[in-house]
């Protein structure tokens, strides 16, 4: 009887596949993403602490010394999480917040996860000691209220456009493809913000990801219609540019 049930399930799956080839393609990409995430996570676990420290320093130095970074005034940046093996951003965050204190009109925003449905907001902060708390995944995020009890400014309600967005990821290819960790938070946020920028007639922000060497893949990473490509990728050897905006803002600086 159990064999009959299993055969019936296989027949149903086969018929669904034949009747919905688009759904099959989506499932293929989903499985490819899952497989690549497994491979890259294993490689990051095997990435030595010494190599990680060296690349953390090199990547942050590349960014801190770059004109395209120094000339940006409204920036979204992630607060790195060691348990996720993200490229460290501690020096970058310290530099951004120090410049914000002494530069009129400069704004720094960092991500806050809202739920498990891929919703994330970018909220304005002024320091890392008082403005951030650990969430249920032990990732540091901004509190909802600032030090005087007011709701934090959200980038989607800002009156001026972003110049730069520094983002993490799990795997990247050499054409701007980005594979996240599976939550879809950055892709959904980027889709919404890019639509907002288009509606307001703003120039899109420069999307720059940070990557360790094992995360850069020679083959194309699997992507679907919801994935947003990056403009540039910073690694320990320098920066790779993928878009005309990156060529204009980075290669010319």
Q: Inter-axis angle of helices 21-45 and 2-19, to 10 degrees?
A: 110
Report residue 3's pLDDT band, with 50, 70 and 90 as the boundaries: very low
The pLDDT of 151-163, averaged and rounded, is 97
User: Residue 161 in contact with residue 180, Cβ under 8 Å?
Assistant: no
Q: What pLDDT does residue 251 have?
A: 74
The pLDDT of 15-37, averaged and rounded, is 80
Q: What pLDDT does residue 138 have?
A: 87
Q: What pLDDT does residue 252 have?
A: 67
pLDDT tens, residue by residue, 62-98:
999 999 999 999 999 999 999 999 999 999 999 999 9
Report residue 22's pLDDT band, with 50, 70 and 90 as the boundaries: low
Q: What pLDDT does residue 121 have?
A: 98
- Closest by Cα among 159, 144, 233, 242 to 196: 159
> Do strands 132-134 and 120-124 pair parallel, antiparallel, or not at all (unpaired)?
unpaired
Residues 6+ apart with CB under 8 A from 123: 109, 110, 111, 112, 142, 144, 152, 153, 154, 155
Tokens of 130: 């008082």
Report residue 6's pLDDT band, with 50, 70 and 90 as the boundaries: very low
Q: Is the pLDDT of residue 18 over 80?
A: no
Please tell me the distance from the alpha carbon of residue 177 to that of residue 240, in angstroms, as a whole number: 12
Q: What pLDDT does residue 240 have?
A: 97
Instruction: Sketch out the chain's domains with CATH numbers.
Output: 48-251 (3.40.50.10420)
The pLDDT of 27-55, averaged and rounded, is 98
pLDDT tens, residue by residue, 171-229:
999 999 999 999 999 999 999 999 999 999 999 999 999 999 999 999 999 999 999 99
The least confident of 19-28, 103-112, 119-128, 133-142 is 19-28
Q: What pLDDT does residue 78 have?
A: 98
Q: DSSP string spanning 144-160? A: SB-TTSPBPPBGGG-SS
The pLDDT of 44-52, averaged and rounded, is 98
Burial class of residue 222 in the structure, from the number of CB atoms within 10 Å of its CB (0-12 exposed, 13-18 middle, 19+ buried): buried
pTM for the structure as a whole: 0.90
Triad 224, 230, 231: Cα angle to 5°: 140
Q: What pLDDT does residue 12 have?
A: 39
Phi, psi dihedral angles at 190 (to 5 degrees): -65, -40
């Amino acid at each position: 009887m159990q064999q009959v049930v299993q055969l019936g399930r296989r027949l149903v799956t086969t018929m669904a596949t034949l009747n919905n080839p688009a759904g099959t393609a989506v499932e293929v990409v989903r499985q490819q993403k899952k497989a690549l995430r497994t491979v890259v996570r294993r490689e990051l676990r095997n990435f030595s602490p010494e190599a990680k420290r060296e690349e953390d320093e090199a990547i942050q130095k590349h960014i801190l010394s770059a004109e395209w970074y120094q000339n940006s005034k409204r920036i979204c940046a992630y607060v790195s999480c060691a348990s996720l093996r993200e490229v460290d951003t501690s020096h970058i965050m310290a530099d951004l917040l120090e410049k914000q204190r002494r530069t009129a009109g400069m704004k720094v925003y960092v991500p806050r996860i809202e739920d498990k449905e891929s919703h994330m907001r970018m909220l304005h902060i002024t320091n890392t000691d008082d403005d951030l708390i650990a969430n249920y995944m032990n990732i540091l995020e901004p509190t909802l209220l600032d030090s005087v009890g007011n709701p934090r400014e959200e980038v989607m309600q800002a009156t001026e456009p972003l110049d730069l967005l520094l983002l993490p990821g799990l795997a990247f290819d050499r054409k701007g493809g980005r594979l996240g960790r599976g939550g879809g938070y950055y892709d959904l946020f980027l889709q919404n913000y890019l639509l907002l920028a288009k509606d307001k007639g703003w120039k899109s922000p420069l999307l720059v990801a940070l990557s360790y060497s094992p995360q850069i893949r020679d083959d194309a990473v699997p992507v679907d219609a919801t994935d947003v490509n990056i403009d540039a990728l910073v690694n320990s050897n320098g920066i790779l540019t993928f878009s005309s905006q990156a060529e204009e803002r980075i290669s010319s600086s």
